[in-house]
């Protein structure tokens, strides 16, 4: 889930740069973690995932884990400062 957000980060940066003083090298580094290598790194990650998903059960576990990551991120964003357990 987090690795996939790198692709979306590229798109968000381009949109933000239209109206705000945003730069991938400074205040938008989070959205540009791999710089110009984002697509290459994403392709490598997809290959790794595909190799690990040997059965339907593997795929279900991967999807459940991604869902849990989304839930944890949402909980962290919505929680008052310092109240989310690690």
Domains in the chain: boundaries: 5-78
For residue range 20-71, what is the model confidence (pLDDT) as tens digits?
999 888 888 888 888 889 889 989 999 999 999 999 999 999 999 999 999 9
In this prediction the pTM is: 0.66
Q: How far apart are CA 37 and CA 76, in angstroms?
A: 28
Query: What are the structure tokens assigned to 48, written together?
Result: 């790794």
Where helices occur in 53-81 by DSSP H, the ranges are 56-78
Q: What is the pLDDT of residue 53?
A: 92
Q: How far apart are CA 42 and CA 32, in angstroms?
A: 12
Higher-pLDDT residue of 21, 86: 21
Residue of 25, 28, 22, 36 lying closest to 9 (CA atoms): 28
Tokens 């938008």 found at: 28
């Amino acid at each position: 889930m987090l690795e996939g957000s790198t692709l979306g980060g590229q798109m968000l940066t381009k949109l933000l740069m239209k109206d705000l003083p945003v730069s991938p090298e400074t205040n938008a580094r989070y959205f540009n973690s791999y710089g110009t290598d984002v697509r290459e790194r994403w392709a490598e990650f997809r290959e790794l995932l595909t190799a690990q998903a040997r059965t339907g059960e593997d795929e279900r576990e991967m999807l459940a884990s991604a869902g849990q990551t989304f839930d944890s991120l949402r909980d962290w964003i919505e929680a008052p400062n310092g109240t989310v357990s690690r």
